[in-house]
């Protein structure tokens, strides 16, 4: 179960940061505990590019210690093709789009989303 919730936790770290106050998106890609990560966090709240870009222009801290290497980069909007979306986790006005996941991974991420009071959406 730990493997399935690590990607969700990575997204929450980014969503809970000051980046969440920007009207933009952040693509997160890499690997954690042998599992590929390919997701995008998107928000609707306005803020300057200067406030959002530092939060989404580097590797996410703390992941190397648990066997991960994930990078984050700003994008204009999350790309289409997500297999699922977690809307408003932890009551944060953000959406986390998940790409390239199998059914078992999606089931674990869905459970983590719902435990964080997020709404699970199939696009």
pLDDT at 76 over 60: yes
Cβ pair 59, 72 in contact under 8 A: yes
- Between 27 and 66, the more confident residue is 27
pLDDT band, very low/low/confident/very high, at 115 (cuts 50, 70, 90): very high
Please state, as a whole number, how many other Cβ atoms lie within 10 Å of the Cβ of residue 88. Answer: 16
Tokens at 8, concatenated: 């969700």
SS3 80: coil
pLDDT, tens digit, for every residue of 7-62? Answer: 555 554 444 444 444 467 899 888 888 888 899 999 876 555 555 555 676 666 66
- Between 67 and 20, the more confident residue is 67
What residue spans define the domains of the chain?
Answer: 2-121
């Amino acid at each position: 179960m730990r493997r399935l919730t690590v990607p969700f936790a990575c997204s929450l770290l980014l969503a809970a940061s000051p980046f969440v106050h920007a009207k933009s998106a952040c693509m997160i890609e890499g690997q954690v505990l042998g599992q590929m990560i390919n997701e995008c966090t998107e928000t609707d709240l306005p803020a300057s590019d200067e406030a959002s870009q530092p939060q989404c222009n580097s590797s996410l801290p703390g992941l190397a210690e648990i066997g991960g290497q994930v990078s984050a980069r700003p994008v204009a909007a999350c790309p289409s093709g997500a297999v699922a979306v977690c809307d408003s986790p932890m009551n944060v006005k953000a959406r986390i789009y998940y790409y390239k996941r199998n059914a078992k991974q999606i089931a674990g991420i869905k459970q983590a989303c719902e435990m964080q009071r997020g709404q699970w959406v199939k696009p």
